[in-house]
Amino acid sequence: MKLLEQVKFSCSVSSVQCKNIKQYGKQHMFDSCPDTSWNSSEGLPQWIIIRFESPQAVSKFLFQFQGGFVAKTLSIIIQTEAGQQISEETFYPEDVNSPQSFELQHPVKSKEATIVKILFPSSTDFFGRIILYKLEILE
């Protein structure tokens, strides 16, 4: 199940290019439009925080970056509502435009994941920008 299409959540991001939320804001990661994206400002690290309205099970992530503006590494940290860390895993995306899936080695099978932090400590872009067209979290 694609959680971000099925359950209520809130999202915050580290930055938005030129503070232009209308054109480059976080909402574009979830709008299913292939022509829109979240664009971060320059600088590292960048991050995304998803907070589910109710606890969920989490097993897989899908990212679609713009080539040249891809995270060299990304860390996914999953926490309970109280902030207790359940899982932390690191992944290494390819510098490509196509969607990339990452399965957790230790999926959160019980419905206890409330906070998902996605950290981008490095980028293929010299200035540290991240451009993300799509983010999916799957149960």
Total-model pTM: 0.96
Mean pLDDT of the chain: 97
| Rounded mean pLDDT, 9-16 | 98
Most distant CA pair in the chain: distance in Å?
40
At residue 7, the pLDDT reads 97
Taking the C-alpha atoms of residue 23 and residue 35, their distance in angstroms, rounded to an integer, is: 11
Residue 5 is encoded by which pair of tokens?
Answer: 């299409």
- CB contact at 8 A, 54 and 9: no
Banded pLDDT at 135 (limits 50, 70, 90)? very high
Q: Which domain holds residue 61?
A: 3-138
Neighbours of 60 (CB within 10 A): 15
- Alpha-carbon distance of 96 to 134, in angstroms, equals 13
Number of domains in the chain: 1
Gyration radius from the chain CA atoms: 14
pLDDT at 103: 98
**Residue 104's CATH number:** 2.60.120.260
Average pLDDT over residues 56-83: 97
